[in-house]
Amino acid sequence: MPTAKPATEPRFPLDGVDAVLADLDGVVYTGRNAIPHAVESLNRVAGSRRVGYITNNASRTADAVAQQLSDFGLTVAGDDVVTSPQAAVRLLATVVEPGATILVVGGEGLTTVVEAAGFTVTRSAEESPAAVIQGFAPEVGWKDLAEASFALAEDIPWVATNQDWTIPQERGIAPGNGTLVSAVHTAVGKLPLVAGKPEKAIFDAAVERFGASKPLFIGDRLDTDIAGAVKAGITSAIVLTGIDRAKQILAAPETSRPDYILGDLRELHEEYPATVETQDARGTRTFTVRGARVELRGNNVVAVERGDSTVDLLRAGAAAVWGSGLAIYGLVVDPALYS
């Protein structure tokens, strides 16, 4: 199980790691644009370790995702991509008979995987499907959600690729599959089995495929990426290029705290600084990361020295907040740590 606190000894994030597993949206790219430093950093990792990509996005095939990554300049093949549809079909196979008819709500990224597993795809509840499997695609509409609801009036399994509430896009943040799953849930009053992050199924599929014994997972979201890695017992790093930033990291519950906080992926190859904790006679605890210094004075978390790096200041602040033993709402946190 990964530790819930920042490092107390200097180390490199890649120490002992035999496979790096990376989320896509917010880590490698946003929309059609590669995130600065991501491609060259991951290609450098691939020179000595297996690199795999894990995505909750169910709208495209693994080969299509690999092609996009290749277009950015990454060295990647379809088998290097683990998708939530792949993990969902693994779950589906445990609850229905081989070759069963499955009502699919989603696009090509889902239907191709369902068919490849030997199931028959239908879009209509009138064909008496044995189960419903649901994933995001931009073209999913009310009629698709209605068919799922009609089918689920019967006592049949329901598998969702993921429950992400949002998807980062070039123009901003858009609704994700979680909103569509919620619509069906509201209609039928039941919940699906979920394959994607933060559930273990997708992490287990990746570890098995890449034969990893000590993987490092990189994500940009606490609620799906880091929580899932913690649940799966995988060392994790959050990178500040996507959804969650300083404020969310400081407030992270113990179940979604990363082992590493990275400004961008270049820091995979840099020494991760030690967090030094001291306590004075008055009981004030001080957390120092290089030139950044944060004090925990009772329930007050105060930035004393900003240092030269906002990331180091965040690391020191996280150490103070997480080490306090108090929930974030029980603390008064200096706005300098997250503004």
Which residues are known to be catalytic? Answer: 23, 25
Three-state DSSP class for 103?
A: strand
Kindly state the DSSP code that residue 264 receives in the 8-state scheme: S
Query: Which tokens hold the place of 327?
Result: 């929930």
Helix spans in 128-277 (H) = 142-151, 177-188, 200-210, 227-232, 246-250
Query: Which residue is it, tokens 């009502």?
Result: 103
Q: Give the Cα separation of 157 and 173 in Å (integer).
A: 31
DSSP bridge pairs for 30? 33
Task: Assess contact for 37 and 300: CB atoms under 8 A.
Answer: no
Q: Give the Cα separation of 79 and 64 in Å (integer).
A: 11
Q: Give the Cα separation of 88 and 117 in Å (integer).
A: 11
Query: Which tokens hold the place of 248?
Result: 């969310």
Q: Judging by DSSP bridges, how do beta strands 292-297 and 285-289 pair with one another?
A: antiparallel
